[in-house]
Amino acid sequence: MFCSGCGREIEKGQGFCPQCGRVAAPLTPPVVPAPGFEYELDRYASKVRVLGILWLVWAGLSILLGLAGIHFLHAFFSGDFGPWAQNQHMFPNWFGSALVHFAILMVMLRAIVCAIAGWGLLERTQWGRIMAIIAAVISLLKIPFGTALGVATLVILLGYRNSTLYDSL
């Protein structure tokens, strides 16, 4: 045992320090407070904010990459594809046009769902969490970035603990 005043070693059973006269008390290391609920809530809020920003960025990238792919698809089916234009007779004329329109619709729907999910997460609304989970499931097949974002979203937003933290935001 050591004196809490001067640090001198005190024999066991001695009631005071012979050097400084302080009452002998065992030194205990300071107790570091455990992170409370506020700390955990702040950490979770920053994760949700980053997730919302990532969903908005993913929505923009989906539109850009989707439109580039649609342009490629349109060139393939219209015969403006260069030396590979011999394949234009494999499909009826209406098929290429219908496929391009369907692709445009799907790209826009996915981008809108991702943008709404990002906005909802940034605003911390209950429907934003639901839209983000839907967007995550939709984006799981968009390897590699959509899959990574979808898995991260499901890990951060699903579960009882995460649901309780999100509701507390």
Q: What is the pLDDT of residues 27-82, one digit of tens each?
A: 455 566 667 788 888 999 999 999 999 999 999 999 998 888 888 877 777 766 66
Rounded to two decimals, the pTM is 0.69
Q: What pLDDT band is residue 109 in, cutting at 50, 70 and 90?
A: very high
Q: Are 120 and 137 in contact (CB under 8 A)?
A: no
Q: Which sign, positive or negative, has the C-alpha torsion 161, 166, 167, 169? A: positive
Q: What share of the chain is helix, strand, coil (3-state, %, to 5)?
A: 70, 0, 30
Phi, psi of 23, rounded to the nearest 5 degrees: -70, 130
The pLDDT of residue 90: 62
Rounded-to-integer distance, Cα 104 and Cα 69, Å = 10
What is residue 148's three-state secondary structure?
helix
Return the number of other C-beta atoms located less than 10 Å from residue 20's C-beta: 12
Rounded-to-integer distance, Cα 39 and Cα 156, Å = 16
Residue partners of 162: CB distance under 8 A and separation at least 6: 44, 156
Residue owning tokens 């996915």: 110
Percent of the chain with pLDDT over 70: 76
Q: Are 113 and 63 in contact (CB under 8 A)?
A: no
